Structure 1
């Protein structure tokens, strides 16, 4: 340890530790850190560059996996839907109350209605009346 400290120009003074059970642990950690640290800044920069790009690839893979999972879940849900999804004026529909998803009552329905479709807009929105 003394040779390594002299090699880096560090002066070391011996001091008594407050907790005697920790003697030896600090020196072991310091020698381990000195062995694992990369002091060549150019190679350390290249290593860090590769680590950052690996992390970005993992994030991109996670986003792609999440997107594919959502697509498959949507396809499964849409496959199980029965009936006509196109509304016409005069149809009776039920309105879904999404605010009750957080704290629904035990026997409370999430659907209100029936309502009558008053107008269907070309971009998919509908206007309903009570």
Structure 2
């Protein structure tokens, strides 16, 4: 069934003039369906090759960018007694841009396998956190010295 028959319930017939022009155009263009189908297959193969090259280029780009960004990652080596600050992503007491999400300083009291670290604050309460959430504290000398002294006095 042709689309016109589905929509209108009867088949559509071109006027004789228009039908003649269509036949004349087909003869003038000398359409060869075999050559046209071969050209279409060749175009599809070229498109597949283009997609493959684009995929390989994208994979190469991603690999190079991963290498570049991995070079910029700083490896943190922590040891017992180091002063660190803790990133608290859930801190929403005073929402705003000026509120720091880093709290501390804390002292590392114990290190566990797989990156878990036990910290102790000034009130001597201990808790465990992920090693990915801490970084070295570079604060005032007085507070650093005070916390380190209390840490070593408690250990003895």
Q: Structure 2 length as normaliser, TM-score? A: 0.38
